[in-house]
A and B are shown apart, each in its own frame.
Chain A
Amino acid sequence: MPEKIFETLDGNEAAAIIAHKLNEVIAIYPITPASSMGELSDAWSSVGKKNIWGTVPKVIEMQSEGGAAAVVHGSLQTGSLTTTFTASQGLLLMIPNMYKIAGELTPTVFHVAARAIATHGLSIFGDHSDVMAARTTGFAMLCASSVQEAMDFSLISQVASLESKIPFIHFFDGFRTSHEINKIEVLQDEQILSLIDDSKITEHRKRALTPDNPFIRGTAQNPDVFFQSRERANIFYNNCPSIVQKVMDDFKKVTGRKYKAFEYFGTEDAERVIVMMGSGCEAASETISYLVGQDEKVGLLKVRLYRPFDSKRFIETLPSSVKSIAVLDRTKEAGSSGEPLYLDCIQAVFENNTRNWKKFNIMPKIVGGRYGLASKEFTPAMVKAVLDNLKNEMPKNNFTVGINDDVSFTSLEIDKNFDIEDEKVFKSIFYGLGSDGTVGANKNTIKIIGENTDNYVQAYFVYDSKKSGSTTVSYLRFGEKPIRSTYLIEKANFIGCHQWNFLEKMNVLEKINENGTFLLNTPFSAEEIWSHLPKEIQKTIIEKKVNFFVIDADKVAKDSGMRNRINTVMQTCFFVISEILPHQIAVKAIKDSIIETYSKQGKEIVRRNILAVEKTLENLFEVVIPTESNSEIKLQDYISNTAPDFVKNVLGKILEGKGDDLPVSLFPYDGTYPSDTAKWEKRNLAEEIPVWDPDVCIQCGKCAFVCPHSVIRVKVYDKENLVDSPITFKSHNAKVREWDDLKLSIQVSPEDCTGCGICVEVCPAVNKSETRLKAINMMPQPPLREQEKVNWDFFLKLPEKKLTHSETTHIRQQQVQQPLFEFSGACSGCGETPYLKLLSQLFGDRIYIANATGCSSIYGGNLPTTPWSKNEQGRGPAWSNSLFEDNAEFGLGMRVSVNQHKEMAESLLKELNNEVGNEFVFAIINAKQKDEAEIHSQRDRVEILKEKLKKINSPKALKLLELADYLVKKSVWIVGGDGWAYDIGFGGLDHVLASGENVKILVLDTEVYSNTGGQMSKSTPLGAIAKFASGGKMTPKKDLGMLAMNYGNVYVASVAFGAKDEHTLKAFLEAEAFDGPSIIIAYSHCIAHGINMTKALDNQMALVKSGQWSLYRYNPDNLLQGKNPFKLDSAKPSLPLKSYLNMENRFNILNKLEPEAANKFLDKAKQLIDEKWTFYSNLDAKDLHHEQK
């Protein structure tokens, strides 16, 4: 055996390393939590990293997982070793091809970071719902329980697949294993090569399709032969478990690590045994070890090879003494008699009887239960609860563990005080912000400990679901033995709080140990800090004798030129205080790590980080703890007391981090949640907020238009409304001529602003006496918070003005419309949300939104609170997310359904003609509803109708009463990103456009898969660096607008609000007015572009001026008037393309990597822009009359 090499890495990397070494073709598509396996493979191949046979694997990104599976199939059929990575819905999209691949007995491994499948809601987190849905495909299934196993089983499954010819799913738990960082022994090439039998590869290649030896595979078969053929493969499945076991035995010979297809752990005379698979086995093993030490007769059977399920081997592995068995499934199969693993185990135990294997002393009881859905915690206390249940004469069956099911009473009681964690393991928790670099620092810390000491290490990270101001919690363990605690830390030796303001609401010391250490980043000195702490924190520090250290990390970081990145500072503090390494060695290790990490980004970055280390040492102080807590500061509530009960009792608890404690009964049974809840979550993220200067303001409305979080609002109202206004409330005479007698106010919601500053950048008005000031200026939030809260509340009570149609056609008036999309969790400075806000302002009271999965579905629909809201009449957008790939069709379904309701209503109305009144019915049915005024009139008519119907005592009237609101125009908007529109959903989008139905499509085009971290889509521009395009995108951006225009009867617009906001408004109004399908392709700047988000509108301006993006509208209605439907709305490119490209890191990176390649891309891009400009301007200049003649 070669000398052992240890590395600290996560499960995805562990699997990807082996997959990349053992394959020739890798077909990929991004999906959480599997994406990084594909990203790493692509990055490795792009720098020429070779597999063990000396070739560089071809990594190819497809338009969907379905496409990736088909590429795998084709590649396998032609003899290449091929793999893919996926999860959840992605695996489901692969299923049809998986049946084919398995049916043709083709060796391959699909590496799956197992994840929940969207049902009542979407979850990106880990469970076995996806792999269980694929268990019928004929793929073998091998489950890894840890990071080490993720690497080992990647190899074992590949070897076994080649030997058995059966394709494998190699899976491990999403996040808990895929994203857990652990110190593992890595496989070396000589070990890998020694296990691979080249003759099996040759066999695979010989079965490949080739015209040099042609045959046919993939025939269509009739009833006479299909069945027999299907049974022909049985022998391969029968042999597979033994082959897997043999490979595992061979593996042990070269690595020393022993695995079994079914692996038993516990006492030989165990009476109670748990059967399960996945990362939960680690927590279960820990618990069994502990209980065995307490003389309990218990055991665990780990299922490694789940398919083919070898019943005999399973029975043989169980101890004959077992009296009761609990089978734990990490999935839910609604309506079944039990979950899949449970049913398999029952069958095996039953077979023991029917085949007379005579394994057991007595027939064991066997029960099944569910645990850990969507990464729900699975702890030793839960393991104990499961084993305790088995003590009962009649153990609870179909139970759940880890929740409180007070509806169907499935859940087991848990002893929350049951704690078995090894005291020798050092446990630490760090609370930080995403933006402050806490997670990055901790990843670095754990690597330093893993690589500089003999300790085993583990790190796991939890993020909240916001994209701006997100809170992160890092859990780090290290100790002398391998860490198998696959659950969060409950009692920590060390707690770091990297953001002072967390102490406003969060009890960060809830989990600190006696004599633990607390490190706080605070602007207060060691002498000052005590009096600024909340009472709860003071008490914990005293009672638990906590060692308390403070540092002003923000100041140290700023002084070192690190802006708000306090990662290096806090990391240094941790090492110095915890004394994991001797002081000098720790500091040297940090500095070495800085050099290794940042050298490639320039000496200056290294210098600043090292300076930060040195300054940290000078600024870290221990606090002398007083003997008594004297604070009058209390931790604040997360949600206002005035919030509705559901918001307080459910959403508020989730915000508080107590969601795990909520009982089943508090949840809706069908995934339905109230709208309009984001307003209750006051996040107070902004250090500075915009402040309006009415005297300078020209009332253009641009600040409100661009505000990504709808925190800047405009209202016009009668001056009488100002009676009783707060003293600091600001107003000004409205400057629009039609609003001569009215007052206007621009008000900011101080607690919802994220402080992006984009409003200030767009403001065109300058203070003439002090030109650094504009009509809106950023000022520190804390001193303004209380005052502006009062002003905001007053502002909200001012009446909303109903606008005429003409008033909605100019931004300065239109922006008075109430946004019905507010305070989302989108990134600070987001480029998508201004479009959604505009949509909600213009049509929000009558709109359906079908939202493709992606950024917009996350900031639009991720619990706890959601941003789609309601007006004072209780109307607002009806929003839903189905899937990623089906969104256009989902929206079309809404459209045709709503049409049916309307048709039915009209039919009933006609039938009630006499009762309701002839003229009135005529007016309702023939109402044009072309603009806001007409829609308002129709709404009034419908209200009158409803009153009339209530007085008519007939079934038809009652039926019409149910449907009457459908007589008011309803709009269906289909919204999603470019990943959906250009790639995975394009087929459906194309079909919906071709349907001619009156649906509106809004493509929020960020030119990458933003939500999953910036992977290339077909919208990505030529030469841009993205994940899966490490060397720059080789092909130009797809012209989606031109494809849509080809139909001739589709309204098409290409907009960029930062370049021409009025154009965007016009396009939205025209798209809505067009009686047929419309599509707006909306350029959306994005954090994934590597830009200054505050100045993102400059980028949009440069984008259009350079010709990289064209503004246009194609309105088929113009054809009816004999006009050219195409109007090019942007001017001839006037800015050198390079000037624009230099503004964005996605283009700049290539300059830094390969300047010559970047120049070639630039030349090609210039040429494309010229060609596009010529083409569009010719289209614009087309003389239709001339052609008709």
Chain B
Amino acid sequence: MDLSTNYLGLKLKNPLVPSASPFSENLDNIKIMEESGASAVVFHSLFEEQIINEAENFHHHITFGTESFVEATSFFPEPQDFHIGIENYLANLTKAKETVSIPVIASLNCKSLGSWTDFAKEIEKTGVDALELNIYNIPTNFDLSPQYIEDSYLNIIKKIRSEINIPIAVKLSPYFNNMAYMAKKISEAGANGLVLFNRFYQPDIDIETLKMKTTLSLSTSVENRLSLTWIGILYDNITADLAATSGIHKTEDVIKLIMAGANVTMMCSALLKNGIPYLKIIEKELKEWLEEHEYHSLKQMHGSMSKKKSHDGKAFEREQYIHTIQNFSN
């Protein structure tokens, strides 16, 4: 069975791609991903804030208390060349690329335009196959207009596109005034793919300690509906490839999203829950399902249930909502 697919110009043997997660911090895990059938891997994210905080804290702690007391004008040996900033990330990325033969996609999460482009250029030099930009921004400024935010997204993408040559994917949140418009604009700005959608880690409250909890909760299959909706709508309407992420746990989820129009399906929670070798099961079940249902290749069903190609394209629109409510009431 031919499970191959194309994503960001890369020819992949199947649509199963582990998304950015702490797994890929360990190179052994990346090797296991490859052995378990992953067709590509998204390397863990480089967070600009993390780099900045690390540098700031390091600098603060190495200078704090110095030149204050005559007998102890410093507390650490004279600093040599520290590997602060993205050096470690780049070194690990290079090693990852050397470790596996499947494509490695870097993931970058920044907040300022200068850093996005600087880091992107450094990442490209490692020889990775593509770059996923994780534009994760929760605006809390009550005076910031939506137009400003949308423009800043597009500026980032255009700027990076002009600076690097490797394919770019953009991982997005669904919270735009007009998702279709933004997807089209991002595609036009030079993105080779869209990754839909980012899961936000929302805070929780510990009612005993009266503190905020920031624990990570794993996704469930229900959550892939949002991705399915928008992939179905966007398929064949924009030039960028589409990657589905969030809530992909079962083979059935993979099939649905490919049918909706995803080029690849990305998994994180499922692997955290079941272990990396779970990929093997998914791949096997996917192959069996396609065979059972007499598909000759994965591509045959790609986009088959999208808004454009399905017999019931209205299911992606508001009318279907009303229909659903009525059915529920009945």
Contact = CB atoms under 8 A, between A and B. Distances in A.
Contacts of A766: 209-210
A1013 B74 CA distance: 6
Contacts of A40: 78
Interface in B63-84: 63-84
A566 to B, nearest CB: 13
Interface in A317-375: none
A901 to B, nearest CB: 36
B58 interface: yes
A699 interface: no
A1152 B83 contact: yes
B302 to A, nearest CB: 42
Interface string B72-98: 111111111111110010000000000
Nearest to B85: A602
B80 A600 contact: yes
Nearest to A1008: B75
B52 interface: yes
Given A43-B77, A827-B65, A1014-B76, A601 B82 contact: yes
A42 interface: yes
Given A561-B56, A600-B81, A602-B51, A1145 B76 contact: yes
Nearest to A828: B65
B72 A1013 contact: yes
Contacts of B80: 43, 47, 600, 1030, 1153
Interface stretch (A431-439, A486-494, A730-738): A431-439
B186 to A, nearest CB: 28
A1149 B75 CA distance: 12
Contacts of A1008: 75
B79 A600 contact: yes
Nearest to B79: A600
18 contacts: A32-B70, A32-B71, A40-B78, A47-B80, A124-B71, A433-B68, A437-B67, A438-B67, A467-B69, A563-B60, A600-B81, A603-B55, A604-B56, A1025-B76, A1087-B65, A1090-B61, A1090-B76, A1148-B58
Query: Which of B69, B74, B79, B84 counts the most chain A CB atoms within 10 A?
Result: B69
Given A602-B51, A605-B59, A1155-B83, A43 B78 contact: yes
A866 interface: no
A1012 interface: yes
Contacts of B78: 39-40, 43
A1011 B88 CA distance: 34
B77 A1013 contact: no
Nearest to B65: A1087
B62 interface: yes
Given A40-B78, A433-B68, A771-B210, 18 more contacts: A32-B71, A43-B77, A439-B73, A465-B69, A466-B69, A467-B69, A600-B81, A601-B79, A601-B82, A602-B59, A602-B85, A768-B210, A771-B211, A858-B71, A1026-B77, A1027-B77, A1087-B64, A1087-B75
B77 A46 contact: yes
Given A439-B67, A601-B55, A604-B51, A1090 B79 contact: no
B71 A1011 contact: yes
A667 interface: no
A1090 B85 CA distance: 18
Interface of B: 51-52, 54-85, 88, 118, 209-211
Interface in A422-454: 433-435, 437-440, 443
Nearest to A599: B81
A466 B71 CA distance: 11
Interface string A1108-1127: 00000000000000000000
Nearest to A442: B67
Interface residues of A, number: 66
Interface string A38-52: 011011001100000
B70 A463 contact: yes
Contacts of B71: 32-33, 35, 124, 858, 1011-1013
Nearest to A462: B70
A307 interface: no
A235 B155 CA distance: 85
Interface string A807-828: 0000000000000000000010
A616 interface: no
Contact of A604 (B55, B65, B67, B209): B55
Given A463-B70, A1152-B83, A565 B63 contact: yes
Chain A binding surface SS class = mixed
B55 A435 contact: no
Chain B binding surface SS class = loop
Interface of A: 32-33, 35, 39-40, 42-43, 46-47, 124, 175, 433-435, 437-440, 443, 461, 463, 465-467, 470, 472, 561, 563, 565, 598, 600-605, 766, 768, 771, 827, 858, 1008, 1010-1014, 1025-1027, 1029-1030, 1087-1088, 1090-1093, 1145-1146, 1148-1149, 1151-1153, 1155
B55 A1145 contact: no
A393 B69 CA distance: 47
Given A766-B210, A1145-B58, A1152-B83, A470 B51 contact: no
A826 to B, nearest CB: 10
Contacts of B210: 766, 768, 771
Contact of B68 (A467, A602, A1145): A467
Given A1090-B62, A1153-B83, A1025 B68 contact: no
Given A32-B70, A434-B67, A1149-B82, A1091 B61 contact: yes
Contacts of B63: 437, 440, 565
Contacts of B66: 434, 440
B76 A1149 contact: yes
Contacts of A1087: 64-65, 75
A1014 B88 CA distance: 27
A412 B68 CA distance: 35
Across chains A and B, which 7 residue pairs bring their CB atoms closest together, nearest first?
A434-B68, A602-B55, A1013-B72, A1090-B61, A439-B67, A1014-B75, A1152-B82
A438 B68 CA distance: 9
A1153 B83 CA distance: 6
A42 B77 contact: yes
A463 B59 CA distance: 23
Given A440-B67, A766-B210, A601 B58 contact: yes
A1135 to B, nearest CB: 16
Contacts of A1146: 76
A959 B72 CA distance: 48
A162 to B, nearest CB: 30
Contacts of B209: 766
A585 to B, nearest CB: 26
Contacts of A771: 210-211
Contacts of A175: 70
B66 to A, nearest CB: 7
A465 B71 CA distance: 9
A1008 B80 CA distance: 21
A743 to B, nearest CB: 28
Contacts of A1027: 75-77
B204 to A, nearest CB: 14
Query: Which of A32, A40, A438, A601 counts the most chain B CB atoms within 10 A?
Result: A601
Contacts of A827: 65
A1025 B61 contact: no
A1029 B75 CA distance: 12
B26 to A, nearest CB: 11
A1014 B52 CA distance: 26
A755 B163 CA distance: 48
Contacts of B72: 1010-1014, 1088
Contacts of A1013: 71-75
Nearest to B72: A1013
Contacts of B67: 434, 437-440, 443, 461, 472
Contacts of B75: 1008, 1013-1014, 1027, 1087-1088, 1090
B19 to A, nearest CB: 24
